[in-house]
Chains A and B, each alone.
Chain A
């Protein structure tokens, strides 16, 4: 939750799994959240595991678990860092697909007091995403460039959906194929139409494949 200098961690991770940045951890002081290659450290809630003296996968250690007296209550609290053991737990490599979890990104709306999160993997098309955002921020109206459909106006303010891509640039939602968008989107921002004057196209861009 805090790095060693006490500052809050940056809000976005390199990997795009933003929610981990806000995840509470019980890491030991000074323990970094990410390894040197930018991958979120596994077991960030299990800092204790590094201190448990179990040499799994170490062939030379003749003293296996039957012999060693593990301090059981503590071992029960924090399982050994599983990433260290080759082939454990015994799940098929193929089964890693099951763990392909969601792609949650933050959604900020200008003027809203707090942000929301959506799982981009839940949608197949831009239309679905925008509809869902509309549900979430029901008091706002989102300008849908793709279908050029003016949605019901409640309080007369229109929003333009934009997103920050992997390069850190703010892009208009809808230009690239959906899958490409999901992969490159780091966070969403619904920008007030008035601010987007001059940036948002007057005519809707050619509708790229919506699915």
Chain B
């Protein structure tokens, strides 16, 4: 390797896309480390508190694209205080002051202030792409700054953020000179946007490939936008209510038919089922379909729609589709790889829900299925065993039985055997979420068979510490473990504290670990931050070592205790 000049090695490294591989490359020798760091353009940081912006900048001066994740996953389910942390401002400030030519920023579960967005928009002349997923803390003013100042913006993608957008002027802030947009997604915004500005923006964006509208974009605007952008590949429809016999509907049909490149369809934030026939002409091309925001679509209208979608690879749907509807999916969508079935009524009677039958049908009809998120009323071991046999290719298998400790309703047994079959059969499984009645046995299986497992989510399961130990000892590639309401205590937690340094993070809430146990971890492992989250009314933490800890979140870090934790978070 000494024979090759640096430029040659750089060129070779360029072809290595995966972060993991590039990380491995940098460990080979000093010169490879050096060449790799200068040529690195994209960095992924799965936990924003594992490293500091200063160290990032020092190591990768050529950085162009940064991905950051903030809050732990269970923040999605209201288990983390809103002010826990994950602020992006320090990152943007440090990058701005460093002279790094940032072009892309992708954030997930972070707190993004308007100030950060404004600073971002003014600090990087070549900034091209902003993707915010499940973030909060900003308003339409921040978006206005991005629109106004990022002259070469290609992508503004807002996914499921909480945005205060009562003032809808931000779209008008894109200057006339901005013609570079490739992707615009504002489906999560609740407020009105300037429709005229939107139409003009789309008209002057010949490269626009992805457009996702919010609920308040009416049908006639949709029709005009489609006429101006027949080259769209990905469309998110806002409001889709019209009278099928009307002139407006005809115009829309015509506009949709011109869009021969659309392969991804989502939205339908407001929909009247009888109008779906207007999109049949493009259904045959769809590879991605997300109807999970359309509770009004169900029954025949829904299945008729699906029957037109023979090329579907990814389907996100509500459980109103029912087992029968999933049968239609199974017989129509032979290319299906990813299925997500969301609950339309998570806290209610669940009459419309799906059961194990639907899943079995899909597994039988769709052999390429490799990714599943399935909220259901019930599950049986027999069904899981059948699914495991039919679909050995699962990479992600997330099952959520709405009743958290429900056993197999046919045999009244725990679901250990069913999940055991899944992990045994699916040798490439990377992510697993369990539910239903489960004993330590399932964890024995997981430890034995789930060799590629990287992320495991457990709730209301197990009998004893053994469960957790099986997992920690067996799953060598485990990176994220999140546990709630399980009887795991100090002896499981403390058995092998070194293990946590090989992982990104561990979350345990409503378990049996005590303050003393957590303190011990913190003492033995200075490379970990051990955070205790206490949201109760008591202003002072109870210092009794035997006190059980409500929520513990620990993660490896190179930069010690963070300085921005709120009062409810105590870093041991």
Contacts and interface: CB of A to CB of B under 8 A. Distances in A.
Q: Do A and B bind each other?
A: yes
B78 A87 contact: yes
B544 to A, nearest CB: 14
Interface in B171-225: 188, 218-219
The size class of the interface chain B forms with chain A is 35 or more
Contacts of B409: 76
Contacts of B295: 98-102
B463 interface: yes
B339 interface: no
Given A66-B464, A72-B407, A90-B77, A99 B548 contact: no
Contacts of A100: 295
Contact of A76 (B241, B400, B407, B460): B407
A99 B346 contact: yes
A89 interface: yes
A68 to B, nearest CB: 9
Contacts, number: 147
The size class of the interface chain A forms with chain B is 35 or more
Interface in A87-107: 87-95, 97-102
Interface stretch (B141-149, B327-335, B480-488): B480-488
A3 B349 CA distance: 20
B270 interface: yes
B293 interface: yes
Given A43-B347, A90-B77, A79 B402 contact: yes
A86 B404 CA distance: 12
Contacts of B160: 92, 94
Interface in A59-79: 59-60, 62, 64-67, 70, 72-73, 75-76, 79
A211 interface: yes
Nearest to A58: B510
Interface in B433-452: 433, 437, 439-440
Contact of A88 (B77, B134, B292): B77
A165 B230 CA distance: 43
Contacts of B162: 94
A64 B403 contact: no
A112 B183 CA distance: 53
Contacts of B550: 59
Nearest to B80: A87
A92 B134 contact: yes
B368 to A, nearest CB: 26
Contacts of B375: 89, 91
A124 B241 contact: yes
B190 to A, nearest CB: 10
B151 interface: no
A87 B188 contact: no
Interface string A136-176: 00000000000000000000000000000000000000000
Nearest to B294: A98
Contact of A93 (B78, B378, B404, B461): B78
Given A90-B77, A98-B318, A64 B343 contact: no
Contacts of B512: 62
25 contacts: A54-B405, A56-B404, A59-B550, A62-B487, A72-B412, A75-B403, A75-B406, A76-B409, A79-B350, A79-B402, A87-B77, A87-B79, A89-B404, A90-B400, A92-B160, A93-B76, A94-B160, A95-B292, A95-B342, A98-B343, A99-B345, A99-B346, A101-B344, A121-B270, A123-B241
Q: Ordered nearest first, which 6 A-B pairs have the shortest CB separation?
A: A66-B463, A87-B77, A79-B403, A124-B241, A72-B412, A65-B405
Given A59-B510, A127-B243, 5 more contacts: A75-B406, A76-B409, A101-B295, A124-B242, A128-B242
